[in-house]
Structure 1
């Protein structure tokens, strides 16, 4: 009953917003009137009407930028990771997706045309997708011809197609695809074929720590990097392998590519430091080149590198004259197979026996087994939004009103937009 009552409050507040007049707001219109007048935003407008609790997330003071997918963007859903959620009308997932389209601060197109990448906080704070301080980020990049691009989870890109639809309290920027909220760690490793690193996490029992550590930066070697080391890493003890992996994790610090300045040293989970070096257009971590930067994940950011970092060789430096740096482990020799991939629990077409064992926090059945959860320590990719009670409390804190005065605060906040 309480959840329904808050939904009714939000519906009423939205109705007030739609019915607002320009006389109260000068030359700018309210959000509802703006959206209802855009024929290319009818699907997005319908979702806002269907899930009015999103309005509870809108700030009442510093403004908001709404990245509104146009109608064509929703036609692309069957080809994206969001297909099941939208097909099943999954309210929890859909509301989180909508929150990811709300950027903190009112930003015009000119302000979204950066020289370097900018990582903008959003109003998505659900820990399943946003185990980072201040809300999950969207990457804003500039391409040639002053094209404004946004990059979301799994490297999905969308382009600004219609700019600066202003309303009282913020601005709407129209985009041509939906933003995809970042996945958890394992959900990000698999699409980018980083299976040796994933297997090494299982092998060393480090998956839970890497998956749940908030505000993290992870330098992840690609499969070739592990394959080029062969027995030099595959034959390590669990403890030694764990130490190597910890050297790739920067805990408590989300270092995007713009933070990786030349000569900067970062402290790792292992205890040693890594050093960032620049040469021309290349950026190195010790002697490993970053070959793909800024993969957003639920608990921070991933940078893919072409070599495995060695905590015993922190002074390793690259030779920019060669494309592939040499391994920094003694006795390295290439394997014909990928190390550690057999440690990954089976997820499909798995052998079935009568025995059942536990692997990490996941249940595994027979042989390599059938993984029935999201793996040791990794969070489920299903999203649960905050309850209406929790959202009401959060809104009361932001506005300075207690629960008894929330209806007044909510009405005022919505009328401001």
Structure 2
């Protein structure tokens, strides 16, 4: 039956063509195709035909044609469907002038077919060589293209010189190989907005990906990025970039999702190892129709949309973000990069390096060199060793440095307006966040500014600050210091002379404290057997004077002394000769005896103690 109807159709077309041929004898009463198109307002069709060199002449030279001519609105809809801005852009989007010629030829049948000649279902071979299906339903004529899209004839049977034009409301698309989208276009079409924002945030990356010869992209969905934000406790993409270590590491993360080769899911083996653009390997596994990807940390994401072909490769959408080894610096490396040399010296002096490197999580408020320089000036010292001496030694240095470390990770974006943290020193630190920045207040109420925030490290974050933070530091009193140094004879003498309160209440003092051996030698020289015998022999007032001769009513660490000899007043009312020669300090009494300082610079609450190897004698 179909064969018969097609035969009748061809027969009717033949008679129609003969009829037209007879009609065309003598003066031609009908317009050309282009004249008819212009007259009908089909300006976009006219422009499209004339965009193909020679096409207008080719159509005009045809003996008989039927043209299904799209309206301007039909072309406008086609521009919208192909996301094209104008006809030239549409030509680009459909693959060039050759494909435009195929599209236009798909609207032309090399025979004359008036609407009255059409059956219910007609198949024509077009000038493009592809078949077009035309339906006639009680005078309503429609045309279907290869994709099944249907156009309706809105104006039929417009006679032209060599045939007929039917105006239609849709551009018909034949079977043509459309150009594949590039990565950006495909990601945009799939709604991968966060991935696009991330790629755009790395200046050179879009061009690298677009110009690559062949790539396979494992593209995290927006939900995958949202999950990564939650894991890193990041508020947005910018915050995530900070927490993974900056733009360089963002580039590394994105590059870890790109393989410089084309790998369609159908070409995958059960287990595949690919070297990514980041230089690190990613493992892709296939089981049946399920494809999964595994990162350096063993996390697995599944491919949820495979094989989105792009101009230079393929995209597989995945439901998780893959993380390479980001190689974040240690706290020591970060401090070196930031030029925090004095802080590093202090950490080394305090022996805290391993403690910081091995901490699971920490936030370091790291004083810059200027902050340490200001601290040296405030303590009237010239170097770190002298500062350590004035604050009470290595143990107190550990307390000071520990006061700068919080055993938790707190990027600036994690901070509330006011935060109270317990530090490694066991004391609390107050951190305040305002629109103008982040400040830190120490135990003494001094405020430091964060001058460089959010330096990501392997086990946390570093914020560089402009002042050294001071905790509450406990220095011993003179009695506690003497007890710790095992100066038992000196303590007995002080007690016997009733000088304890005098020394404890002194506002500032420097004590030259004789060792037990020094007292033993004095007793031996005086041929006495005990301290009590010495007290009995000299009397309490004389012993008090001797002890007072060891105390200077001012604080003088060894490095505060001028080079050479100097006379200093004592509580005994007599001057004591103190001599500094380099790092060596000696004291000379009224009898001309000179003794060495064997342990210098023991800081106490109200001054400093220097342990000496002899008992100083005033004028007795």
TM-score between the two structures when normalised by the length of structure 1: 0.38
The structure number with the bigger radius of gyration is 2
TM-score between the two structures when normalised by the length of structure 2: 0.27
